[in-house]
Structure 1
Amino acid sequence: MDLKWEYDELFESFMEDYNSYKNNNMSDRESLARTFGEYETVLNEGEMEKAVIHVLYGELLLRQSKVLVTAKRRTKEDLLSINLNKLKMEITDDQFKDILVRKDEVLQELDMKKLDYCPEVRWYYFEITDKVKEYFLSQNLEVLSQVEIVNNILERFKRDCMNTLSENITIKTTLLEMLLLNDIPLSENIRILKSELENFDFNEVGEQLSEDEKLDLSIRIKEVLSKL
């Protein structure tokens, strides 16, 4: 006999698994997709389980800088499909009030999010830029050589560089920016990175980047190349 989920326990379990993926260096979008996949069968266990998972999925979707257009549509449909009469019979009055408020907030705020039209699961432009900067600054810049710093960054983001072209070029642009910003003497090994920036074709990224993001990255690349 399967044990019945408790309301708070299900929230905590979902978040624990989500954060576990995040701690394994996955993007918000991939972490959420993987976590949701693990709980798809739980959705059928009761109206409480269905409500909690869809509401929490929506809340975590809102943390992303953009929302995939199909994910927005599906999430709204899922939230509106919750049977409130059934739900009220499965949880306490306080829990019912809590889930209703959270559901309504997700529905409201989803309409204010920027939309993503590219189905590829990836780091978003500003998110991966911030991650690279954060990891770069965690390096012991006083001790490590430029070669060691570059190798550390590229190893840390190896999986992401191989995932999509937008992640690859954004990571390498940010890496070069940080080297220049921190006045780290550059050696010959950066010629490969420089060449990638010089030969980068924005037409190849498709919808992985928005037009605004392409413009921003274009300016950044030009500034970096002018300083190399």
Structure 2
Amino acid sequence: MSLKWEYEELFESFIEDYTSYKNTNMSDRESLARTFDVYVTVLNQGEMEKAIIYIVYSELLLKQSKVLFITKERIKEKLLSLDLNKLKEEVTDEQFKDLLIRRDRILQEIDTKPLDYYPVVRWYYFEMTNNVREYFQNQNFEACSEEDIVNNVLERFKRDCRNTSSESITVKTTLAELILLNNIRANEYIRVIKSELEQFDLNDIGEQLSEDEKRDLSSRIKDVLRKL
């Protein structure tokens, strides 16, 4: 990586790397964590670099549905501990003003975000639901059999289903809803998914989902099992 970054270049580079991870089917949270790890060494190159990395990281973090409670406190601490005198020496007046505006907006908005108390990097509930629906809709229904479509979805999210029980059950519930909605007759897959939903114990989720998310998931599972 460059030893001396330009202001816009560093913002753009971080976002490009984040997008690259996203394009490999990683969750928003995992993509952001991996991107931050790439730029850890850049933090020590100057106050400008430190400010930009924490600000662009935080802005992407705020786009997620939740913020890990430890991360929230760490971000506030880092942003408030920036040396503004040093920073002013390393950037233009316009850039300094831009950074302060963005920093203050982050500090204000981060206090309004729902908190996550489960430290494992994963897809969040509604993000996973939407992602499964989007991937399903992008299938080639003319070229693929109904079994192939269901299998494609399960293969796409296989890694996530192995990661946490909340991701797995969210994928299976969403897929079951899509099977019903589209009158798909993939009987063997339906049998397996139905069995998993019947055996699922909401207590296994722990803090992976909020209480509201658990209620929503429970309602969706009951509705699916009633129709299957």
| TM-score of the superposed pair, with normalisation by structure 1 | 0.97
Give the CA RMSD over aligned residues: 1.0
| Sequence identity percentage | 69
What is the CA distance between 1:3 and its match in structure 2?
Answer: 3.1
User: Whole-Å Cα distance in 2 between the matches of residues 143 and 59 of structure 1?
Assistant: 40
Contact 2:150 2:186 in 1 (8 A): no
Mark the runs of 5 or more structure 1 residues left unpaired by the alignment. Answer: none
Q: Name the counterpart of 1:113.
A: 113
Paired residue type of 2:86: K
Q: Name the counterpart of 2:85.
A: 85
SS at match of 2:139: coil
What is the CA distance between 1:146 and its match in structure 2?
Answer: 2.2
Q: Name the counterpart of 1:209.
A: 209
What is the CA distance between 1:188 and its match in structure 2?
Answer: 2.8
Going from structure 1 to structure 2, the CA distance change for 1:198 and 1:90 (only over 3 Å counts) comes to same
The yes-or-no answer on 1:63 pairing with 2:67 is: no
What is the CA distance between 1:186 and its match in structure 2?
Answer: 3.8
SS at match of 1:141: coil
User: Whole-Å Cα distance in 1 between the matches of residues 143 and 13 of structure 2?
Assistant: 41
User: Whole-Å Cα distance in 2 between the matches of residues 143 and 58 of structure 1?
Assistant: 42
Mark the runs of 5 or more structure 2 residues left unpaired by the alignment. Answer: none
The equivalences for 1:103-182 within 5 A come to 103-182=103-182
User: Whole-Å Cα distance in 2 between the matches of residues 143 and 22 of structure 1?
Assistant: 27
User: Whole-Å Cα distance in 1 between the matches of residues 99 and 28 of structure 2?
Assistant: 23
Contact 2:146 2:184 in 1 (8 A): yes
Paired residue type of 1:177: E
What is the CA distance between 1:129 and its match in structure 2?
Answer: 0.1
Paired residue type of 1:98: D
The yes-or-no answer on 1:196 pairing with 2:207 is: no
User: Whole-Å Cα distance in 1 between the matches of residues 58 and 166 of structure 2?
Assistant: 25
What is the CA distance between 1:190 and its match in structure 2?
Answer: 1.8
The yes-or-no answer on 1:220 pairing with 2:220 is: yes
1:144-176 CA-to-partner distances (Å, cap 9, x unmatched) read: 222111110011111101110000000010001
The yes-or-no answer on 1:94 pairing with 2:94 is: yes
Paired residue type of 2:10: L
| TM-score of the superposed pair, with normalisation by structure 2 | 0.97
Paired residue type of 2:14: F
Paired residue type of 1:132: V
Contact 1:146 1:187 in 2 (8 A): no
1:5-36 CA-to-partner distances (Å, cap 9, x unmatched) read: 11111001101100000001111100010000
User: Whole-Å Cα distance in 2 between the matches of residues 64 and 161 of structure 1?
Assistant: 20
Tell me the matched-pair count: 227
What is the CA distance between 1:184 and its match in structure 2?
Answer: 1.9
Q: Name the counterpart of 2:25.
A: 25
SS at match of 2:112: coil
User: Whole-Å Cα distance in 2 between the matches of residues 115 and 122 of structure 1?
Assistant: 14
Paired residue type of 2:92: T
Paired residue type of 1:39: Y
What is the CA distance between 1:143 and its match in structure 2?
Answer: 4.0
Q: Name the counterpart of 1:75.
A: 75
SS at match of 2:115: strand
User: Whole-Å Cα distance in 1 between the matches of residues 209 and 148 of structure 2?
Assistant: 30
